[in-house]
Amino acid sequence: MNQEKIGKFIAERRKAIKLTQEELASKLGVSNRSVSNWENGKNMPDLSLFKDLCEILDISINEFLSGEKVNSNNEDVINNVTLSLYKAKNKKNKIIKILSFSLVIFIILFLLYYFLISYQSVKIYTINGNSENVNLSDGLFIITNENIYFDASDFLLTNEEDKITRLTLFYADKNHQKHFIASNTGDTLMFRDYMGYDDYFDTSNLDYIMKNMYLNIYYEDTMEQMKLSLIKDYVNKKIFHLKRDNIGVENKKTNNPINVEDKYLLFRLRSRYEKYNDEYRYIKTENGITTEINLVNNLINIIRDNSTNREEWSYNMSNHQITYQDGKGNVINFDYNTIDVTKEEQNIVGKFYKIINDSLERK
């Protein structure tokens, strides 16, 4: 469809029936400028005007679209112009449909791929075990698409005077043969493995290993063997994460157990901070501000001191109690696990975790 040719044809037919642009515009209910733009090939009349325009100019729709009157030389072409336009439009519509369908397929495949690599990409297990005189609780075994984390550190001995000197982790195969995994001096065994690297775990046989893991625990002149029990605590297998109802204070468990997030935080701190006797420590001085963080069992203490001010935080993960002291001697104590935390208390918690995150990033 030649727009310029059609414009000249409109002007030719208008003049042939002795109409001015103003008169044609008046009959069609449009402006003079619109008719001028048609005839100059700048744009086309609106589709709703085709029928009335053709009747005024005494031409057929096919002649209008062809930009010329029908004669013996062009009769076939003009009579088929509508069909040609229909085919062209139909072809364009097919292309649009194909492109749209391809886009939908691409989006579906992308979402499917994302779902496959994300579904169950994080699994968290708690580690527990008992031997004759040793109890292990609240250990962590975390599996992601990239890493595996192992943390066994919360041991309790029947005789509190005894002290663990070495831990050795292994698994037993079907023939009861031991296969060494990792070992460490002291009462803590923590390490990180990389999926597929097999530095510690044969990931192709991981399910079997998890069901058959043992610890050799050495203390004083004694060695005890402990069968480890891994209990699934969390797997991200929900497509939609539904918000849980808040738990009121009256519905809380009385023992206030350490939650999974706190366990993971303990693991990260213990694996990154320096160990001194029974505690883990981080000290940093920057821009005249000294930050000291101490981790003792399940208690985190932070002291932030400069020449003019000293702030202290204490977080007991066993009961979720946070104590904050500002430089003016004011003390704020509250339960972080309740739903009625004030704005001021929220700011205290936020600053506490910012200091913790900064220490982990810079270490």
225-244 per-position pLDDT tens digit: 999 999 998 887 765 555 55
| pLDDT > 90: percent of the chain | 32
Q: What is the mean pLDDT of the chain?
A: 83
Bridge partners of residue 81, in order along the sequence: none
Q: What is the pLDDT of residue 124?
A: 93
Torsion angle, alpha carbons of 204, 206, 211, 213, to 10: 120
Give the mean pLDDT of 266-273: 83
pTM of the model: 0.45
Which tokens sit at 210? 């998890």
Pick the most confident of 22-36, 58-72, 86-100, 249-263: 22-36
What DSSP string runs through 144-211? ESSEEEEEE--EEESSTT--EEEEEEEEE-TT--EEEEEEEESS-EEEEEETTT-SS--GGGHHHHHH
Given a cut of 90, whether residue 214 has pLDDT beyond it is yes
Residue ranges, CATH 1.10.260.40, the chain:
3-79
Q: What is the pLDDT of residue 298?
A: 85
Q: Which residue has the higher pLDDT, 133 or 244?
A: 133
- Residue 188: pLDDT band (50, 70, 90) is very high
Q: Which residue has the higher pLDDT, 43 or 341?
A: 43
Q: Confirm or reject CATH 2.60.40 for domain 122-235, answering yes or no.
A: yes
Pick the CATH number of 3-79 from 1.10.260.40, 2.60.40.1930, 1.10.275.10, 3.65.10.10: 1.10.260.40
Contacts 24+ apart (CB under 8 A), 96-99: none
Give the mean pLDDT of 237-259: 51
Residue 43 · residue 3 · CB < 8 Å: yes
Number of residues written out for the chain: 363
**Beta-strand pair 147-152/189-194:** antiparallel
- Residue 300: pLDDT band (50, 70, 90) is very high
Given a cut of 90, whether residue 292 has pLDDT beyond it is yes
Given a cut of 80, whether residue 73 has pLDDT beyond it is no
Cα distance between the two ends of the chain: 71
Residue ranges, CATH 2.60.40, the chain:
122-235
Mean pLDDT is lowest, of 224-238, 320-334, 347-361, for: 347-361
Q: Which residues contact 333 (CB under 8 A, 6 or more apart)?
A: 321, 322, 323, 324
Given a cut of 80, whether residue 83 has pLDDT beyond it is no
Q: What is the pLDDT of residues 138-178, one digit of tens each?
A: 899 999 988 999 999 889 898 888 899 999 999 998 888 88
Given a cut of 60, whether residue 82 has pLDDT beyond it is no
Residue 234 · residue 260 · CB < 8 Å: yes
Q: Which residue has the higher pLDDT, 151 or 198?
A: 151
Residue 162 · residue 183 · CB < 8 Å: no
